[in-house]
Amino acid sequence: MNLILFGPPAAGKGTQAKRLVEKRGMVQLSTGDMLRAAIASGSALGKRVSGIMERGELVSDEIVIELIEDRLPEAEGAGGAIFDGFPRTIAQAQALDLMLDRRRRPIDLVIRLKVDDDALLKRVAGRFAESGRPDDNPESFKVRLAAYNAQTAPLLPYYQTHGKLVEVDGMGAIDEVAAAIDAAIDGPRF
C-alpha cells in the first residue's frame, strides 16, 4: 500500500512514519531526510539546497520529484511507501500520481495529522533546543509554516475530491496518534 502522511512541519509525520516502517515493513520516503543527507554528504545537490532549507523555503519541485522517483522501486519491493513531507505542492502531487499510475500502484490513503499552530510552535521550540536543527529556529519555522499554508494545504481538497483523505487528531500522545493511524489504515475504506 502507498500512503501519504500529510500535515504541517512538526506535526509528527516523521515519528509516525518510522513506527509504520517498523510495524509494517514499509519504506519511509522523506524528502526532508534525503535533502539533509545530501547536505551532510557535501554533494552538489546539498550545496544547492542548504541555504533554501535553512531559510525554511521550499526547494524546487524538479529536485524533490527526482529524489522520490529514484526511490520508488525500493518501496515497491517492500510493503509500499510512506510519503513523508512529499508532496508539498500541487505540481508534486500531480507528478506523484503520474509516477504511481505508471507503476499501477496509486496512492491508497492520505492521512492528515491535525495539530494547531500553538502546539506546533511549542513542539518546535523544544525540538530546536534539543537538536539545534537549523530550520527549527523561530524565524525559519515561521517561513515553513507559511509555506505549508500557502503551498501545501491547498492539496487537501485535491485529495478529498479523489476520496483518499482521512483526518487524524495529531494533538495526543505518540501512541494515541499511532492507534488512530492504524485504525485509519486497517478500517473500512470509503
Residues that bind ligand AMP (CB under 6 A): 9, 31-32, 35, 52-53, 56-59, 64, 85-86, 88, 92, 135, 144
* Shortest Å, Cβ 29 to ligand AMP: 10
Nearer to ligand AMP, 35 or 168 (CB): 35
Nearer to ligand AMP, 57 or 97 (CB): 57
- How many other C-beta atoms are found inside a 10 Å radius of the C-beta of residue 29? 23
Closest residue to ligand AMP, judged by C-beta, is: 32
* Cβ proximity of 48 and 39 under 8 Å: no
Nearer to ligand AMP, 68 or 109 (CB): 68
* Shortest Å, Cβ 45 to ligand AMP: 12
* Shortest Å, Cβ 173 to ligand AMP: 21
Nearer to ligand AMP, 15 or 108 (CB): 15
